[in-house]
Amino acid sequence: MKKIFTYIGIAALATAIISSCGKDNVPAVFDDSNAFVAFNSTSVNIDEDSADTLRIPVTLASVAGLGERISYTVKDSTAKKGVNFDLVDSTATLSFSNKERVQYIEVVPKYDGVYTGDLVFTIELNASANVDLGNSSVCTVKVNDVDHPLTPILGTWTFKANSRYNGDKTFVVTLLKDASDDHMVWFDNLFGLDGWKGDDMLYYGNVSDDLTTIVIPWGQDSEYLYNGTTPISLYGCDADGYYYTTGNSVLTVTFGADNTTLTVAPDYGFYFRVGSLGGLEFLNPGITAVKN
């Protein structure tokens, strides 16, 4: 992206120089040998049942505003053209001009109503006689499967808990699907300290076939390492302040008429510990949540 902005800046400067030249005002001839084309992002995604068209931006960067036709190649992977998605433009070609530096590859997802898991395919830009490829010449497109069996419980939940350290608290936890196990969920921000959210601080739970319980094994370690050496461990705790390194917390999911609620087994809460350094958070028994 910095390279694109650099070319844009050069073009603007060149225009200023031309306009301030002497009375002959002879336009300069610019060398566009470094012109390149690239995706603005190397990965994008769309839900398979989306009514919207996915528009993937592609930028041609040149000093003089080079006009060019750029082709691209779609490569099937787990997602197949004509089965899981279609291209709006069957010619697979983008036409750039000096006034249109950004063009879009448009993709329409196709909904099959069957759980397949998320599917992916790639799009590769092709160099031309006048334009090279930039660093981002390949884009991976993910078609999100909305028929995942855990769809009713995935997403954000508002948790309420009492912290031994911080008193009553309300916080948002996101339940994420696992890439390979369709009965596993990952909890982001399970202990409600927003500064620790992220994909290196996830804890997992196993979901029953009827989606009514989630079992979270105690003793899990975070991928994140405090000071580069020590993970954050998830344990169970009871109302007396004791914590347990092995066992399970069982979350009960209740599907009501208007919302979905979640409660942790009443005898236990969650304790998060940084090795021998001590506790990071201690959530007393009695944790509840409502799906957003």
What is the domain-level CATH number for residue 159? 2.40.128
Q: Does the pTM of the predicted model rise above 0.85? A: no
What letters, b where the CB count within 10 A reaches 16 and e where it falls short, cover 38-64?
Answer: bbeeeebebbbeeeeebebebbbbbbb
CA dihedral 275, 281, 284, 286 (to 10 degrees): -120
Question: Which 8-state DSSP code applies to residue 270?
Answer: E
Out of 144, 172, 200, a domain closes at 144
Residues 253, 209 share a domain: yes
149 assigned to some structural domain: no
* Whole-angstrom distance, CA of residue 244 vs CA of residue 237: 6
Q: Could you tell me the pLDDT band of residue 65, with boundaries at 50, 70 and 90? A: confident
183 assigned to some structural domain: yes
234 assigned to some structural domain: yes
What percent of the chain has a predicted confidence (pLDDT) above 70?
89
Q: Flag whether pLDDT at 11 surpasses 90.
A: no
66 assigned to some structural domain: yes
Out of 117, 144, 171, a domain closes at 144
Using DSSP, state whether 282 is helix, strand or coil: strand
Using DSSP, state whether 20 is helix, strand or coil: coil
Contact criterion met (CB below 8 Å) for 185 and 175: yes
150 assigned to some structural domain: no
102 assigned to some structural domain: yes
Indicate the average pLDDT of the chain: 88
Residues 254, 135 share a domain: no
121 assigned to some structural domain: yes
Angstrom CA distances, 185 to 122, 180, 266, 281, stand at 27, 11, 21, 21
Residues 159, 105 share a domain: no
Out of 114, 144, 174, a domain closes at 144
Q: Which domain holds residue 9?
A: 2-144
pLDDT confidence of residue 66: 86
Which helix (H) or strand (E) segment holds residue 232: the answer is: strand 230-237
What pairs with residue 230 in β-bridges? 226
Number of structural domains (the chain) is 2
